[in-house]
Amino acid sequence: MPTVTDLAHLLWAARPASGAYVIALTGGVASGKTTLAASLVDALGGRPERPRVERVGTDGFIYPNAVLVERGILDRKGFPESFDREALHAALRRVREAPTIFPGYSHLIYDIDPALSRTINPPDVLIVEGLGLDGAAPVDTLVYLDAEETDQEAWFIARFIGFWEVGQQDPDSFYARFRELDAAAAARLAARVWTTINRPNLREHIAPLREAADIIVAKGSDHSIAKIVRERPDGEEFG
């Protein structure tokens, strides 16, 4: 089976001759982007060259909830229009040359959290993971994390239940508002969110990026890497 090390090898081979190397990692909600990005930080940073690798999320460039409410698109969070793409693109350009502020997002409060903002100096490698990326994003390599829709739905529901469980004990959690639900009702709510929000976003806006990806990472139902395909230039395949 292919591994994160195989993916890191492909990515390192595709790096530019000089300057910061910006890698974008996208895929459906709950498909494991953050986990894979963290593993890549270790795999790339552990190479003999010892590059300095940083990781950021695109969630910090989602408009604050107050703005989304004002625009009537709070239920479209994660869709293209919910992101400040101009600010995201500007940050990705600037970080190649100078220290750059990347805002942070908290799933606990379901909103931008100023305390999570980070200033990143130009790294050797920057991995930016999340939604809101498009063909115009100033990145060097685009990685698409692919999986069956049914698996992604199951992963999303499991993640939602995890947040719901935290909300049972933490009144500051956004998910505390669902404390009166039992586990079965919380799972039904999660399934409804998937069907009405995340699945349409996946089909209409996220999955089309698969065609633009330089590398596709296909995952099995257990989150293992089943296949890695380099789309350009020679279609090299692992797994």
Cα separation, 155 vs 57, whole angstroms: 19
What tokens does 138 get? 């100033």
Largest CA distance in the chain: 56
pLDDT band at 135 (very low <50, low <70, confident <90, very high): confident
Report whether 33 contacts 145 (CB < 8 A): yes
pLDDT greater than 60 at residue 105: yes
- Residue 1 pLDDT: 86
pLDDT greater than 60 at residue 86: yes
- What is the reported pTM? 0.94
pLDDT greater than 70 at residue 232: no
pLDDT band at 235 (very low <50, low <70, confident <90, very high): low
pLDDT band at 12 (very low <50, low <70, confident <90, very high): very high
